[in-house]
Amino acid sequence: NNPNMNLYGGGPGEYTITFKVRFVDADYTGRLKPTLTSSNNREVTLGAIDGYQFVTANGSEWTTFTGKYLLTEATHKKLVDDNFSTFKLRIDASEGGNAYAVNGKDANGNYASYYLDDMTIVKTPEITGIEVLSKPNKTEYEFGEELNTTGLSLKVFLDNGSEQTITEGFEVSGYDASTEGPQTVTVSYEGFETAFEVTVKEKAPEPVGIQVTAPDKTTYESGDAFDATETSAYNSETKL
């Protein structure tokens, strides 16, 4: 079958088209080009996201194929304005470059009829927002320590009402290991942003010099053990 498909309701976006094809008494290789036809037989072909897929099928078996195609804003407007509604699967001949909406040519240049069945067109859900589902395992850092996002997961909201959970594929920004105190880290995914909080501890004081206080005992007999009682060293802030 070659059903009529109305894409107006779905609107612009990415569509996955799945179908079965069987050629009549012919083996065939060609490119799949989903095409929409208006009431006055004008045609618009959907752009393939990963390039138009080549298919090889024979005349005795049903073969299933799946491709992803993009319906742009401009194309969608044309569909609505010119009353495009009939969906056809165009198959380009592998030789000669001719395209046929109902028939294709086999490798010998002869027309090869084919049948389509079980065709489905499903729009890929679009993201409407994101939020932090679980913060990273580590949210408190020593001064100068690198950010660790292990454990971070996001909830992704889709326009069909469903939700997804992701643990990779996002980007983080806004963390500065050399800035003490609380910080807001921004998480970006597919044009959307959310955030979580971390804290960088105060920087530990660093020695700037030493001052030695002599021990109580400074005179020893031969064989006496050293006694460091009351010996201490200081830096500018902290006793060592």
Distance between CA atoms of residues 233 and 103, nearest Å: 93
How much is the pLDDT for 232? 52
Distance between CA atoms of residues 110 and 118, nearest Å: 26
Q: Which long-range contacts (CB under 8 A, 24 or more apart) does 156-159 make?
A: 156/127, 156/129, 156/130, 156/189, 157/127, 157/128, 157/129, 157/130, 157/131, 158/125, 158/126, 158/127, 158/128, 159/125, 159/126, 159/127, 159/128
Return the closest-CA partner of residue 34 out of 61, 15, 50, 20: 15
Residue numbers in the chain where pLDDT is lower than 70: 1-10, 23-32, 37-39, 52-60, 84-114, 116, 230-240
How much is the pLDDT for 3? 39
Longest CA–CA span in the chain (Å) reads 117
Angle at the Cα of 133 (from 127 to 135), degrees rounded to 5?
130
Q: What is the pTM of this model?
A: 0.58
How much is the pLDDT for 148? 97
